[in-house]
Copies of this chain bind each other. A is one copy, B any other.
């Protein structure tokens, strides 16, 4: 067995009630979707004790085409913790359909470190993203509908900022004109991928169904003719949106190939949003388990920073340990090796590229969270190359552990698990966000740019300056910032790998996500509706004669 699909299909899945029992959930807490998926009911959640588990964040070096295996490591570490007798739940974000049809698979781990059943997790899971799409588009329909029926809110159709959404990579919908043919106000509009919608960000940051309703109501959907912000509440859509999302808001329970419970729930974009699974899933995990292993999007400069400054701040979470994932291959790319040349051993390149790892480790420590490095093993890694990574970590005073969970499942990450458990139990974490709520928005951007990206400074566009002033005047100055920057570099230039310095971070525009509760700083062009490639994966996906879906992952 060599492919992820073959391994996933050969896995013997346990009934979801058995996984629920491992997680500490009685059978009647589970709202089942077939034999291997369930939602955890609100009633069961309410009956649980307070949070007691220790929160472990898995993050990574700056991503490269070589692959780092952050999700794989999150799963492998969770499996390993369970194997060494630590009751652990894994929390992951749900995959979007878009990438499944465009490239391949929803990034739910690989090798022997996967969440299963993969087909179902990739395609619809329990329908959460469909519910989010519907809720997002109900609001859009009600916005245009009130304009059609005499526009009692005085909404300026040319200043509607709320966009429609689909969970489908559809380039042709990026920029559209709606309302033609006498069907209301003709105006420019566009579709975002559902995961890039504020509806998704709100869903993932809401602490309860009531909080979800309030946050949806706070979302700004455009401006009226007097240039005042109009909120979703004014459109009277948020009750029905909450009704559409009620069932979806319950976290999904699935399992890893190793049999660990995994909560797979919510999945916002990691650029214009914060990029991690729902607060309610993390909260549920912390109330059930001794350890919760979760991941953040992209590299630590974006993913971990947002995890700490946005999610942990909003949800009152206090992480105990952070794992920074690196691979020899990826460090070689950060050290200047091109992808076609990755096959050749090059310890010197690893040494150069380790500057990227070093900076991420230093950054995570700034949040008061102890760090350990996971080296996700590839068979072609040489001893000399690995020695460079260990040397870098020794110099940093950070533990480093070679992990073989891809090939071996949880057993391959036992050393990492022991180290993580020891750090978590050591109680050395002194978590604090990078900046206080009270700092002005521009200073928050500046702080992240200097402290995390190591920029010399920030160049705010005149538009950004003007809008930040407007946001602060409107009472949004206390919000954290959500940086939308290329994940491939600490700088805004995706080609500047390694650990660039001496640059200025350009911020061309800013956007308010008042419901999610952050201000997005756009440092470059951010695609919120991807397109399909010339040869989409969808062309080869099919159901075979036995009813098995082939080509999906």
Contact = CB atoms under 8 A, between A and B. Distances in A.
Contact of A144 (B127, B138, B172): B172
Interface in A526-553: 531-532, 534, 536, 538-543, 545, 547, 549, 551-552
Interface residues of A, number: 77
A164 to B, nearest CB: 8
Contacts of A540: 239
Contacts of A112: none
Secondary structure at the A interface, as helix, strand, loop or mixed, is mixed
A100 to B, nearest CB: 9
Contacts of A542: 213, 239-240, 242-243
Contacts of A532: 141-142, 145
A209 B124 contact: no
Contacts of A120: 247
A230 B91 CA distance: 45
Given A179-B172, A240-B101, A536-B142, A42 B127 contact: no
Contacts of A33: 32-34
A9 interface: no
Interface string A229-244: 0000000110110111
Interface stretch (A79-87, A180-188, A457-465): A180-188
A137 B35 CA distance: 29
A176 B168 contact: no
A180 B177 contact: yes
B32 A244 contact: no
A131 interface: yes
Contacts of A210: 545
A176 B178 contact: yes
A134 B168 contact: yes
A67 B311 CA distance: 51
A242 B551 CA distance: 13
Nearest to A547: B42
Contacts of A184: 171-172
A97 interface: yes
A365 interface: no
A120 B531 CA distance: 33
A175 B171 contact: no
A178 B183 contact: no
B148 A171 contact: yes
A246 B547 contact: yes
Contacts of A185: 172
Contacts of A175: 179-181, 183
Interface in A173-206: 173-181, 183-185, 188-189
B243 A137 contact: no
B138 A168 contact: yes
A542 B138 CA distance: 13
Contacts of A424: none
Interface of A: 31-35, 39, 42, 97, 101, 120, 123-124, 126-127, 130-131, 133-134, 137-138, 140-142, 144-145, 148-150, 164, 166-181, 183-185, 188-189, 209-210, 213, 236-237, 239-240, 242-244, 246-247, 531-532, 534, 536, 538-543, 545, 547, 549, 551-552
9 contacts: A33-B34, A34-B39, A42-B547, A101-B240, A130-B130, A134-B168, A175-B180, A239-B540, A239-B541
